[in-house]
Chains A and B, each alone.
Chain A
């Protein structure tokens, strides 16, 4: 206070009416000083915070700001092609438009967002719940676009383009789609692609798979995914706060296309096999087998196990998985609809076990000879019935009554001959084990063949142990169901009872007969290739050499007997399919089968006993190059449905035509 207060020099007391003059009191000075320090404190805090943000952590925030605006877009790598053995494309790529969702750019307000999702659902026919599930799935990865529908239709594209502003966060993008020039051809074998599932992601994250990846879900697409998929590239794009692009797309990593897979499948033969399958069913219908509605055909090269054709009916178009139209997908993904449509997604050639019927008789014959139960020319009586322990088993042909040897028994498919052999197996001492089952498993039955596409069924070769466990044991004794009775061995000898085999297993067994006792591993892929400018000389990256055939341990002489029987079956007057193959210019040997199976049919309260029509064989007889195995479900006798179907395959393979005479038999 530089000015002395006036009061000090005053002579008179102040007049109370007179306001005291204003002066800066110490109190006010203190308070202003406090305000001053407060102001200093405030600015100090602001400066320090600013320093901390801009100078100390500036780089971190700069990075954040950059990642804010820079979006990394995946660029799809085109998937590799799938070719047949002659280089004809079975699966190609096409460019399609897909609808993508960018959750960060969607409205933040939940009700506005829901409204947008509802509209999107109407356009794409993807349910709102599904959209929300997908968004939740990607919540930790908000900058990866979610593809909600691939391969959308022309009108959907134009609608979305016109209403772009109504759909913030929704974009149209171009992506590669699988296309199938031959529609449903080899559908089960080729498989299909789809977006990676949560479970697959957990299992495969280490192999570089990421959320949103498209991967093979079945067949060759799944097994050989790592060759087919290629490597996605990426591009960068600057966007503003509303997700609108503010720069051109700038490629960063060039995508690397997937490699080509060449199959062992022959397109023409595959087409023929699928036609033959439908033809077999048609023939069955003509012959009064009204319930015939499915089947499978396998064609193998017996020398190395390469699969030439693998057909299953009913089938589907893999393109359904591209468009993902829920109505068309239902038979493949909804169990109830699938049953109504007779399981079009099921690969009957490798994933279904059927009772093999008489096509099994060569197994029994070989095992019996190996175990010295019979010799090649042991004569047994082929009678109309065979009775054991009071149980009577019928021969399919009730009029026969003669002593025959093994080749003849195979040729005319005498059941009673094999019943006796089966009973002999039953009579073997326990020290010899279950000899028939043992040989069956040496021939590859009851286990997967190891084909490179899946899923594959194992089939079932029943043993006394299996029976006991299957019916609730152990203990095994004292329960009538759990005991292996002689009748089971008798039935098994002709391929009936609980025995089931897949068409592929059976084809492999006939390949073993054809190639002199080697058990081949069936496979459908020949090699992995990188396309070059000249399609005739691709760079082969990896050849999948056929796995060396494993010797089954079967005696060459025994095989020769069976081969003779199979040749007679297609050529002698009493052969069961000589009416079909007898006149074919290339010598074919093979066996019919008529397997009884209890089948539940819609509209029938009780299961019906329907015949599964089989034919398996090979040609040319001396140096076989192809094995064909055909099954027509509920198709009746082997000679009436499966054999004519198999003939069609041989015709296509040998480019020759045969003549079918009407000779209806087992």
Chain B
């Protein structure tokens, strides 16, 4: 990529002398001044509320409250977020190749040496910390795809480019899929979809890709198993399709969904408090510190408490989309779009799963679920959103 030439310099408007690339030569102070305070507020609010929520959720667990650990992760994440503001996103673009190789290497390493927990291989044990590369992968794949598509901005209307992007993305997706971690694979897919969408792939192509994806899903979940070929393990397929028939087997495959719905519903408007939340306290809701954290939050804090978190998320998504429109270049726009959409997707799938409107997949709830990798990766992603924003075209 050659050095950009700033033709907009001929723009006569005095304020626009530096044009859309206003952040290029802005000093650190200027960058800090331009930080999206609404996004920052929403993120800090979500992190703080998440810590408060997870403290309540895990307080009565045998292991005790996860607050300390989570606060530490949040601190690390916030530092990383702050640091990310000062890194020009174009740096990631320049090293897109390295990012991609690193992503594949990380996934490969997990498969080769990762610790097996409950039948899947997702973590690398680094002593004090269990590092989950696939969480950071969400961010890395957004950066890489943005770079790939921004580099081919002029040819993005060609189907070839879109297919190349899909094939490149297929690598990490498959590596996550075989861990197996279907949820994260789906998030990667969401990042890919958002990147193609924001990069400007033609509607017709998007429709075709969507149709193929739909057919593939139907094939994997229904048609192939019917003819005896199981791509997914039967229990995985059951959990994914269980959302369509929740009462099929209340003690078996859909046990979790039904318990989760009961948990959420029992919370009522005001919530049952920590002691009163029997579904959480007595362990009826499985994995309430991680995958089903939202259900427990809804039980303990009620509609009021759950809505508060959702509103904070909505704020994050809104500001993320603002960063897309305000981005200084296409790369920034695609990165912001990928991150925002992935965030939205995770929130929907996680929350939807606990209230019976999305399939059961193990996706952590951003800023709430216990887990360092997720917390840190999400905060880093927020930092990159800010980095895109502060270097964007200035409006006001």
- Which residues of A come within 8 Å of B, CB atoms? 2-3, 6, 9-10, 14, 18-25, 27-29, 31-32, 35-36, 38-40, 42-43, 45-47, 49-51, 53-55, 57-62, 64-66, 68-69, 104, 108, 238-242, 246
Contact = CB atoms under 8 A, between A and B. Distances in A.
Contacts of B341: 35
Contacts of B4: 19
A45 B352 CA distance: 9
Interface string B206-234: 00000000000000000000000000000
Contacts of B355: 46, 49-50, 53
A42 B344 contact: yes
Nearest to A109: B252
Contact of B20 (A21, A28, A65, A238): A21
Contacts of A53: 261, 264-265, 355
B267 A54 contact: yes
A32 B323 CA distance: 10
A39 B318 contact: yes
A69 B299 CA distance: 15
30 contacts: A3-B11, A3-B13, A21-B6, A21-B19, A22-B329, A28-B333, A29-B325, A31-B200, A35-B321, A35-B337, A42-B348, A43-B317, A45-B357, A47-B307, A47-B310, A50-B310, A51-B303, A53-B264, A54-B265, A58-B265, A58-B266, A58-B269, A61-B262, A64-B265, A65-B299, A68-B284, A69-B282, A108-B252, A239-B282, A246-B282
A467 to B, nearest CB: 63
B395 A2 contact: yes
Nearest to A2: B395
B262 A6 contact: no
Nearest to B286: A241
B5 A18 contact: yes
B262 A18 contact: no
Contacts of B321: 32, 35-36, 39
Interface in B3-31: 4-8, 10-13, 16, 19-20
A29 B326 CA distance: 10
A30 B283 CA distance: 46
B377 interface: no
B314 A39 contact: yes
Pick the most buried of A47, A54, A69: most chain B CB atoms within 10 A of its CB: A54
Contacts of B333: 28
A337 B310 CA distance: 73
Contact of A35 (B10, B197, B251, B298): B197
B279 interface: yes
Contact of B310 (A23, A25, A36, A43): A43
Contacts, number: 166
Interface string B266-297: 11110000000011001110100000000000
A241 B10 CA distance: 71
Interface in B178-228: 194, 197-198, 200
Contacts of B330: 22
A240 B282 contact: yes
Given A54-B303, A65-B284, A32 B265 contact: no
Given A47-B310, A54-B302, A61 B266 contact: yes
A6 B8 contact: yes
Pick the most buried of B282, B298, B321: most chain A CB atoms within 10 A of its CB: B282
The 10 nearest A-B residue pairs measured at CB: A61-B265, A65-B266, A58-B268, A240-B282, A241-B283, A54-B303, A53-B265, A22-B329, A241-B284, A61-B266
A50 B307 contact: yes
B264 A43 contact: no
B268 A54 contact: yes
Interface of B: 2, 4-8, 10-13, 16, 19-20, 194, 197-198, 200, 251-252, 255, 259, 261-269, 278-279, 282-284, 286, 298-299, 302-303, 306-307, 310, 313-314, 317-318, 321, 324-325, 327-330, 333, 337, 340-341, 344, 347-348, 351-352, 355-357, 393, 395
B317 to A, nearest CB: 5
B266 A9 contact: no
Given A6-B8, A61-B261, A43 B19 contact: no
A598 B283 CA distance: 71
A35 to B, nearest CB: 6
Contacts of A25: 200
A61 B354 CA distance: 14
B358 to A, nearest CB: 10
A238 B2 CA distance: 70
Contact of B266 (A3, A32, A62): A62
A61 B5 CA distance: 63
B278 A9 contact: no
B268 A62 contact: yes
A610 B284 CA distance: 72
B8 to A, nearest CB: 5
B279 A31 contact: no
Nearest to B352: A46
A248 to B, nearest CB: 15
B262 A65 contact: yes
A62 B236 CA distance: 29
Pick the most buried of A2, A9, A241, A242: most chain B CB atoms within 10 A of its CB: A241
B199 to A, nearest CB: 9
Given A22-B328, A65-B263, A69-B278, A35 B200 contact: no
Nearest to A103: B251
A185 to B, nearest CB: 48
A119 to B, nearest CB: 22
Contacts of B303: 50-51, 54-55
Given A32-B337, A35-B197, A65-B284, 19 more contacts: A21-B8, A24-B325, A31-B200, A32-B324, A35-B194, A35-B198, A35-B337, A43-B310, A43-B314, A45-B352, A47-B307, A49-B352, A50-B306, A54-B302, A58-B269, A59-B268, A68-B279, A69-B284, A108-B255
A62 B265 contact: yes
A35 B340 contact: yes
Pick the most buried of A35, A66, A68: most chain B CB atoms within 10 A of its CB: A35
Nearest to A67: B262
Contacts of A31: 197-198, 200
A32 B317 CA distance: 11
Contacts of A40: 314
Nearest to A51: B303
A35 B206 CA distance: 14
Nearest to A14: B7
Nearest to B304: A54
A39 B266 contact: no
A64 B259 CA distance: 9
Contacts of A28: 198, 200, 324-325, 333
B7 A18 contact: yes
Nearest to A63: B266
A45 to B, nearest CB: 7
